[in-house]
Structure 1
Amino acid sequence: MGHGVMIRLRVFRAHLHRSFRHYLYGSLTVVILYFIYLHFAYRGERSRVRITDLDRFPVGHEFGGRFAKVPPPEEKFAKEIDMGGFLPDLFPRKGKEDEMGDIKGAVHEKETAGNVLAASFFIEAHCPDTTRFVHSQLWQAWQRLFATNRIVWTVVPFGKARCLPRGNSDFSCQCQHGPNECELNQLMNCAIDQLRYPSNYMPLINCIQGKADLLDARRQCLDGQQLVSVSRLLDCASGIEGRRLLARAGQVTMQLQPPLTFVPWITLDGVRSVDAMYDLTENLCNRLIPPPPQCL
């Protein structure tokens, strides 16, 4: 009987040792795998160049677009960091006093009495609503009211596009109406960057909006252009510089509060105006106090 008990104890102890070794090895394996995961996740996070909330808006149109499977706005696609001078300062962040002071140089007009209004237009090249608005509202209002010297005109061609970093200095961009829209958005951003003043670039924006592609825009809008080199403008639109400018326009778009949910998106003194989409001139004139002669 004593000999049998000893055998059982030895068998039990051997089984216990094997079970402990299996448990220990399994636990160590889990711990090692966990630290390996943390290592690569940290490396991936450190190496990612992030843009301010580039994922805030899905690429697809709110009424259903070609990129309908893009994650909804509340899901983070890219985290916010300081770009550290990575993008060109196409739309510099300025205070209200800086913006109001810049208008005098932008329109080359003498000072006039009355308030100054900031009007911003967030557009995209192939959006039908934007095309109607630019041709029937924005262009007409600009021709009528530009000389008042009392409106800061800002055009941001981006809409519901999406740009992600690719390499050290390039971006991969998707636009809700396809690659041709991205190139036209880039062309408009390049025109704004190179021509600087609304008096120079607004006619081009009006012409480029709604064109089929770069070739169509060149034939109808750029040939004979005297204010800027056509070849330089096209090189910008189809290259890294244009994609960087488009990504910068995306940063400006992402700063909107409330966030952009429709294109075109119009703000007057920083506040969205839905009614301005249907009668821009009236909405601008109603905010100019006293009204200039062009509004009477």
Structure 2
Amino acid sequence: MRDWDIKSMEIEKVDKVDLKLYYESLCPYCVTFHIERLDPVFKEIGSYIDLKLYPYGNAKRQEVDGKTVIVCQHGEKECYGNKLHACAIDELKDIRVAEPYISCMMNGTGGGDGSTDKDATKCGDLMKIDSMPIMVCAKGKKGEELLEYYGKETDKMADKIDGVPFVFINGEEFDLHDDLKKTICEALKNPPSQCKTKV
């Protein structure tokens, strides 16, 4: 194999930090973290972050009339918001598109309370995303299945997560008082030039 072939293969294999965020759509702390901290960092160095979002938070599964239902901390509106987020991740297939779209929805961009159909539609218009399949998913069986999936994934970490937002960076708990960008940059073997500048 020629030298330049090896070099091009190395360039393709970008050094990435694994970041998992467990959250819920209407939790004020989650909204603030997503909009003010995660989103700006992801916009700047997102190509160095393997981001996984888990929109479920402190929801609980309960038996009601012999049927399992998910009850969200901030009520049915939050369950629907969580489904919108889950469906956006599923439908858009690319976290680099889904993350800013979710941040936009959380911001109440459409004049809704945040993570509503109004917000999904307005953010879709702004970002040239067809929001209709996302809303259809959130209102149907697929949305329920995705919410259940994120519930099971969140439950797997129940012994470590003591509230939301909760962040793991390369499997280690991230202290929410710390600088997110600095922590990510320090975890990279070859930090990019953006790591030398403030967000």
TM-score above 0.5: yes
Q: Deviations over 1:224-277 (max 9, x none)?
A: 6544x42221111122211110110011111116431111000011111114x5
Provide closer, same or farther for how the CA distance between residues 210 and 163 of structure 1 changes in structure 2, counting only shifts above 3 A: farther
Q: Does 2:28 align with 1:131?
A: no
SS at match of 1:183: helix
Q: Does 2:59 align with 1:161?
A: yes
Give the match for residue 268 of structure 1. 169
Q: Which runs of 5+ in 2 are unaligned?
A: 1-10
Q: Does 2:119 align with 1:217?
A: yes
Q: Does 2:64 align with 1:184?
A: no
Which residue identity does 2:19 align to in structure 1?
A
Q: Deviations over 1:94-114 (max 9, x none)?
A: xxxxxxxxxxxxxxx8334xx
Q: Which runs of 5+ in 1 are unaligned?
A: 1-108
Question: What is the rounded CA distance, in whole Å, between the counterparts of 1:171 and 1:239 in structure 2?
Answer: 16
Q: Does 2:194 align with 1:294?
A: yes
Give the match for residue 111 of structure 1. 13
Q: Deviations over 1:159-203 (max 9, x none)?
A: 011235789xx8522110111111010000000011111122111
Which residue identity does 1:220 align to in structure 2?
K
Query: What's the CA shift for 1:289?
Result: 1.9
SS at match of 1:223: helix
Question: What is the rounded CA distance, in whole Å, between the counterparts of 1:116 and 1:218 in structure 2?
Answer: 29
Q: Does 2:72 align with 1:175?
A: yes
Name the TM-score, length of structure 1 as normaliser: 0.56
Aligned-residue sequence identity (percent) comes to 26
**2:101, 2:127 within 8 Å by CA — same for their partners in 1?**
no
Structure (1 or 2) with the larger CA radius of gyration: 1
Name the TM-score, length of structure 2 as normaliser: 0.80
Q: Deviations over 1:123-147 (max 9, x none)?
A: 1111111111011110011011113
**2:91, 2:133 within 8 Å by CA — same for their partners in 1?**
no
SS at match of 1:266: strand
SS at match of 1:129: helix
Question: What is the rounded CA distance, in whole Å, between the counterparts of 2:99 and 2:84 in structure 1?
Answer: 13
Which residue identity does 2:90 align to in structure 1?
D
**1:187, 1:237 within 8 Å by CA — same for their partners in 2?**
yes
Query: What's the CA shift for 1:117?
Result: 1.6
Within the candidate set 152, 155, 164, 1:254 is matched to 155
- Could you say which structure has the higher strand fraction? 2
* Equivalent residue runs for 1:17-36 within 5 Å: none
Question: What is the rounded CA distance, in whole Å, between the counterparts of 2:99 and 2:41 in structure 1?
Answer: 11
Q: Deviations over 1:38-68 (max 9, x none)?
A: xxxxxxxxxxxxxxxxxxxxxxxxxxxxxxx
